Amino acid sequence: MTAPRRAIFLINSLAGGGAERVMCTLLRYSEPMRAEFQITLALLDQEPAAYAPPDWVELRQLDGRRSLPRSIAAVGKLYADLKPDVTLSFLSRANIANIWNAKGGCVISERSNTSAHLPGLRAAPARALVRLAYPRADKVIAVSQGVADDLVQNFGLAREKLATIANPIDAAAIAQRAAEAPTIDTENDYLLAVGRLVRSKNFELLIRAYAASELAQRLVILGEGPERVNLEGLIAELGLADRVSMPGFAANPYPIMARAALFVLSSNDEGFPNALVEAMTLGVPVVATNCASGPSEILAESARETVSGLALAQHGVLTPTDDVASMAEALRLMSDLERRRDYGARAEARARTYSPEAAAERYWRVLREAMA
């Protein structure tokens, strides 16, 4: 009997985040491949895990300590020991460590718009490293067409090496978790945003637009991060302390999401906005900035450049990035109950196209191509 081939999945850690959640979802829906592959998950850093891989996956904990040289060395030892036939990595440091050491098929996945994620002079060395390393991978999976286009135009990737696979959204699991009791007290008919409190999520835009909209509904922002103090100062400055709440990180945001009147994404850039599609899965209508990359592909089924101004797209409302007036107008438009109901139904139907079964099948197709 032929021994199963070895596939190694590599990521920095399973600490809270979209990439980590997607990795665990992908592994969960890869169980049919066990007859053909021994599947190992390797974690570069020793950090508390927010998500759990399936118990049938072999887990290898490395000691990269958030250092690229240490990560490259640790992955080199692991690959020498296990001799994988194919490898798949998520996130930049894991991607570079994978490319540096892979002897079999090497697949990397870019989770964000690289140019937007690495802006300015300070990030020039990181951009140069990506430009040097990424073309050496056998296959590169981008989570949206915008991410793929950026890699081709700015980082020297050959188009034929690229595959675009949107993140899998496990609607059944989300619905099950949404049925639990919410962990915070919220009144009915509130607006919701979810994400790490960092500048790229541009919650300042949302707060200013919310103030300008003069809506009676409350605004709830779920998440934690370094911008909390600045955002709390802005809320106080605008006199919104009794109308905007930031209750912090929620391990299970879905009961809160399912009860929201509207979900709002205000980001300057995204790779693939998981929270946006998760809200859509629950039938929540959405407003999103037309940022790089993802929202226009999800809501308008078209490239970002083809959508201008405030757009009532097929599956949700798009507004220009960092445009307070347009976002405020979008919030006012979505205060209409009938419009919200209509867009909620459209959103739920659109979200069904992001099934984890289809995503896992496409990932494994790319992995086989890389081995060939």
State the Cα–Cα distance between residues 140 and 158, nearest whole angstrom.
Answer: 10
- Cα(58)–Cα(42) distance, integer angstroms: 8
- Going from the C-alpha of 15 to that of each of 24, 45, 48, 61, 336, the distances in angstroms are 11, 10, 6, 13, 38
Alpha helices in the chain (DSSP H): 18-28, 68-82, 92-101, 114-117, 124-133, 145-155, 171-178, 203-213, 228-237, 254-258, 274-281, 295-299, 324-333, 337-351, 356-371
**Neighbouring C-beta atoms of residue 246, cutoff 10 Å:** 18
Tens of pLDDT along 8-59? 999 999 997 789 989 999 999 999 999 999 999 999 999 999 899 999 999 9
Q: How far apart are CA 105 and CA 78, in angstroms?
A: 15
According to the model, what pLDDT value does residue 184 have? 83
Higher pLDDT, 158 or 186: 158
**Alpha carbon separation from 208 to 158, 215, 372 (Å, rounded):** 41, 12, 52
Assess whether pLDDT exceeds 70 at residue 145.
yes
Residue 2 clears pLDDT 80, i.e. is over it: no
The residue with greater pLDDT, 120 or 180, is 180
Task: For residues 250 and 211, give the distance between their C-alpha atoms in angstroms, rounded to a whole number.
Answer: 25
Q: Which two tokens stand for residue 254?
A: 């879905």
Q: How many other β-carbons are positioned within 10 Å of the β-carbon of residue 319?
A: 29
Q: What is the pLDDT of residue 325?
A: 98
Laid out side by side, the sheet with 262-265 consists of: 244-248, 219-222, 191-194, 262-265, 286-289, 317-319, 311-312
pLDDT number for residue 294: 85
In whole angstroms, give the CA distance from residue 273 to residue 270. 6
CA distance 203 to 218: 15
Residue owning tokens 């993802």: 294
Buried/exposed code over 257-292 (b: 16+ C-beta within 10 A; e: otherwise)? bbbbbbbbbbbbbbbbbbbbbbbbbbbbbbbbbbbb
Give the other-Cβ count within 10 Å of 241's Cβ. Answer: 11
**Would you state the pLDDT for residue 271?**
81
- Give yes or no for a contact between 134 and 356, defined as CB atoms under 8 angstroms apart: no
Q: Is 166 helix (H, G, I), strand (E, B) or coil?
A: coil
pLDDT digits (tens, 9 = 90+) for 253-280: 999 999 999 999 999 988 889 899 999 9
Residue found by looking up tokens 């460590």 in the block: 97
Tokens of 78: 């692991």
Give the type of residue at 302. Answer: S
Residue 287 has pLDDT above 60, yes or no: yes
Residue 1: pLDDT over 60: no
Residue 316's nearest CA partner among 325, 305, 111, 294 is 294
pTM for this structure? Answer: 0.81
The two tokens of residue 329 are: 């107008």
Average pLDDT, the chain: 94
Q: What is the pLDDT of residues 308-343, one digit of tens each?
A: 999 999 999 999 999 999 999 999 999 999 999 999
Rounded CA-CA distance 151/115 in Å is 8
Angle value at C-alpha 40, between 59 and 160, nearest 5 degrees: 140
d(CA 295, CA 299): 6
Domains and CATH numbers, the chain: 5-168+355-371 (3.40.50.2000), 171-354 (3.40.50.2000)
- The three-class DSSP label of residue 308 is coil
